[in-house]
Amino acid sequence: MKDLVKRFPNQDRDVIRAISFGIVPRECVSLLGPSGCGKTTLLRLLMGIERPTSGTLAIDPSLIGHLSYVFQEPRLVPWRTSLENVLLPLELSGKAVDGSSAEVEELLTLLGLGERLGNFPRELSGGMQMRVALARALITKPKVLLLDEPFAALDERTRFRLQDLLLDLRARLDLQYVFVTHSISEAVYLGDRVFLMDKSGQINTDQPIAFPKRDQLLKVTPEFNDQVSAFARRFTALEGGA
C-alpha cells in the first residue's frame, strides 16, 4: 500500500495518510490504536468496502479474492439458521452449496457449532453468534482474515475463549489474520507483531514478539506483562502527542 489517502466527506481531515506495510508469510498481526485513528477504515479499505480518496491501494495480487472480513457485530441474517448463515457466502457468490459436506462439517465442529446449527441468531448468545460469524468468514477458505474488533462487545470469559479459538483456527487452517483492537493485552496476545497506529493514521511497525506458547496462562507471565506495559506507554504517548 502506498500513499493512501482516505477522507470522509463530512470531515475536514484525512483519516488515513500514506500508509505502507507488509505482512510476512504465516504472520498474524494486531493493529492497535486509539479510537478514531482509522483502524477500521484501513481494514475496510483493504477489504474493498471503502474506496481510497486518492492514492493507490496495492494489495499483493495473490491475496485478491482470498480475504475475508469479520465485522465488529456478528451481522447474522435473523431469518436464517446458524447453518444457513454460515453457508450464505457460498450461495451469494454462486458456488455449490452442500451443508452436509465433510469439509463444512469439520469447520462447524472446529468452531463448536455442532449443536446449534438449527437455531436462529436470536436464540444464540453473543459468543455463539460471533462463532457463527467466524464460520461464515471462514467458509470461503480465505488466506487472510481481517477482523475488526470482533470480540469487543463480549464479556471477558467469552472473549478469552474466542481469542483461544482464533489461535486454534490459525494453527489448524493455516490462516493469517489482521486483528484490529483497542485492547493492548488482546493485541499482544493475538499478534506476532503489533502495529501501532497514531491519530494521524501513520502506522509504526515493530519487531515480532515471540512467546513460546500462547494460552490464557501466558497473560499472567512477566514477559507478557512487560510487552503490554511497553505498548501501554507508547500508546499513551501517541494519544498525548496527537
Partner 1 sequence: MNAQIRDKAPAWLFLLALLGIWQLIVGQGWVAAYLLPAPSDIYATTVELWPEIWSATQSTLSSIVWGLAASFAIGVTLAIGFFAVPILRRAVLPFCVFFQTVPIIAIAPLLVIWFGFGETTVKASAFIVSLFPILANTLTGLEETDPLLREMFQLYKPSKWKMISKLQIPSAIPYILTGLRISVGLATIGAIVGEFIAGGGLGSLIDSARTQQRVDLVFSGVMASSVLALLLVLSIDLISRLLLRRRPYTRSA
**Strand ranges (DSSP E) for the chain?**
2-7, 14-17, 29-32, 54-56, 67-70, 144-148, 176-181, 193-197, 203-204
| Pick 31 or 87: Cβ nearer partner 1 | 87
What stretches of 93-221 show up as alpha helix (H) in DSSP?
102-110, 126-138, 156-173, 184-190
Question: Cα–Cα distance between 208 and 211 in angstroms, integer?
Answer: 10
Binders of partner 1 among 120-139, rule CB under 8 A? Answer: 120-122
Taking CB under 8 A as the rule, does residue 99 contact partner 1? no
96 binds partner 1 (CB under 8 A): no
Under the binding rule (CB under 8 A), the answer on residue 141 touching partner 1 is no
Sign of CA dihedral 82, 88, 90, 96: positive
Q: Does 71 bind partner 1 (CB under 8 A)?
A: yes
Helix axes 102-110, 156-173, angle to 10 degrees: 140
If binding is defined by CB under 8 A, does position 79 make contact with partner 1?
yes
Least distance in Å: CB of 242 to partner 1? 29
The minimum distance between CB 76 and partner 1, in angstroms, equals 6
What is the DSSP code (8-state) at residue 78?
Answer: T
Q: In 3D, which of 240, 241, 242, 235 has the Cα closest to residue 33?
A: 235
Q: How far, in Å, CA of 46 to CA of 52, rounded?
A: 10
**Smallest separation (angstroms) from partner 1 to the CB of 126:** 12
Q: How many residues bind partner 1 (CB under 8 A)?
A: 22
CB of 124 to partner 1, least distance (A): 11
Among 24, 77, 171, 237, which residue interacts with partner 1 (rule: CB under 8 A)? 77
- Segment 174 to 233, residues that bind partner 1, using CB under 8 A: none
Residue from 93, 115, 207, 222 in contact with partner 1 (CB under 8 A): 93
* Candidates 67-75, 186-194, 197-205, 230-238; binding stretch for partner 1 (CB under 8 A): 67-75
d(CA 131, CA 27): 22
Which range in 53-61, 72-80, 194-202, 204-212 contacts partner 1 by CB under 8 A? 72-80
For strand 203-204 and strand 193-197, is the pairing parallel, antiparallel, or unpaired?
Answer: antiparallel
Contact set with partner 1 (CB under 8 A): 47, 49, 68-69, 71, 73-79, 88-89, 91-94, 120-122, 140
